[in-house]
Amino acid sequence: MFGFFNNKVFDKGWLPPYEGHEIYYQQMGNPKGEVVLNFHGGPGDCCKESHGQYFNLKKQRVIMFDQRGCKRSKAEDIVSLNDTKRLLKDAKRVLDHLGIKDKVIVSGGSWGSTLALLFAERYPEITKSLVVYSIFLARREDMEWMLRDSALFYPDLMEEIRRQSEGENPYTHYAKLIFSEDLGSIQTAVKYMSNYERILGRTDAKFEDVRIDNEVINSSRIALYYAANRYFLEDNEILKNIDKIRDIPTLIFHNRLDMCCPLKSAWDLYRSLDNAQIEIIADRGHGGKKLKKAVKKHF
């Protein structure tokens, strides 16, 4: 019925240079299938073939792109003219470049869920439905969870982060370190602040030295740059504008014991929408196989 499909990337390329950035994109699945626009997490991560595992690649054409400054996207300065609203414009440019004129399913997890929701609010006329998971709303309370409330479970780790921050906001402090020219300062920023959210949820959580290369440094720089700038959003911007997408069909998936992005964000989103379903997965951690399976079965 759906003809040719590919569980690998069947098309990739770069958008024409714009504002000093060349955006990398790739496509997976059925070239004639239902279009899904998927946002990767981070900030600072990249799109991966494994993200295709959330979808039915026999039926769907999944479009992804590396956000500004991320991995295969090219830039002389990775944070120049790099902010949330520009990422949304880039996503629309990808669709235009590929000649997508029909409504699309908009999807993403973690920071990708933030962008998916913001994209739908900016372009509700082209959003067919939303499929979001591991919800991050980028509110003040979400940042307070990371820098304050997570210490209820990891007081030893947060005490070390704050000790090194010397009374300064940790995101601001470590952002200064990660953009320095001193390798030791960069390693400190990656080891403590950039890595903290990755170890949340682990019962053996501890700070460890991590591999440092240009990709890791760039990813950490973008992550801390966005966090230090409060993700370039007004506080609670997504829920303040929820009327724009209130009736759009929305599927929400979240692990109950996600210590990086607590379930309350997903629940707050669900309670703010009129046409939403939520599935709470009996699992811990931020993502994982059970979450992917739960999302995919709906396609």
Residues with active-site annotation: 110, 258, 286
SS3 content of the chain, % helix, strand, coil (to 5): 40, 20, 35
Instruction: Output the CA–CA distances (angstroms, integers) from residue 9 to 2, 47, 90, 91, 188, in the order listed.
Output: 17, 11, 20, 18, 36
Task: Look up residue 135 and give its amino acid.
Answer: I
Written as six digits, the tokens of 11 are: 């098309």
Pairing of strands 21-22, 60-65: unpaired
* Residue among 101, 97, 98, 94 at smallest CA distance from 115: 94
Q: Are 130 and 107 in contact (CB under 8 A)?
A: yes
Helix (H, G, I), strand (E, B) or coil at 94: helix
Helix crossing, 170-178 with 214-228: angle to 10°?
Answer: 150
